[in-house]
């Protein structure tokens, strides 16, 4: 997806703040995640991320909010914990996105961009 300069700068700053969080910075891609990324390619992974956002984060009511994103098992899950986009509680706390309503298209795009930037960065670091 395409980001403009302002969005890119905002996401960069957010990722810097996240990297200073002791809890968030603990999440790292393991060998399995890395191999999965390599095998599927970032474009395919972006589709997975879109699906996860749509199904697990976007709805107005999420029964298991706070527990819908496993700690491991998919590189996007890891990226979600690392970027505080794992649940609506964290989206509210970190980005002031209100709970109890559906996510707006621009909010879904923002979450997707954060996840993909984090994945891109961490994929290259390996």
Binding mask 16-45 for Zn ion (x = CB under 5 A): ------------------------------
Residue 76 near Zn ion by CB under 5 A:
no
Six-digit token string for 122 = 């961490």
Residue from 124, 122, 107 nearest 18 by CA: 122
Six-digit token string for 114 = 């954060």
Taking the least distance from each CB to Zn ion, the nearer of 15 and 42 is 15
Please, where are the H alpha helices in 1-126? 5-19, 31-40, 42-52, 75-82, 88-95, 105-125
Residue 86 near Zn ion by CB under 5 A:
yes
Residue nearest Zn ion (C-beta atom): 90
**Residues 89-108 within binding reach of Zn ion (CB under 5 A):** 90
Q: Report the interface residues with Zn ion, using CB under 5 A.
A: 86-87, 90
């Amino acid at each position: 997806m395409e980001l403009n300069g302002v969005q890119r700068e905002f996401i960069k700053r957010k990722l810097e703040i996240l990297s200073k969080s002791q809890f968030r910075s603990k999440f790292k891609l393991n060998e399995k995640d890395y191999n999965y990324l390599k095998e599927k390619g970032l474009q395919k992974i972006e589709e997975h991320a879109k699906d996860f956002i749509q199904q697990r984060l976007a709805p107005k009511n999420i029964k298991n909010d706070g527990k819908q994103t496993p700690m491991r098992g998919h590189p996007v899950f890891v990226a979600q914990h690392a970027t505080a986009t794992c649940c609506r509680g964290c989206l509210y706390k970190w980005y002031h996105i209100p709970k109890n309503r559906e996510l707006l298209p621009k909010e879904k795009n923002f979450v997707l961009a954060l996840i993909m930037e984090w994945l891109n960065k961490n994929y290259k670091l390996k």
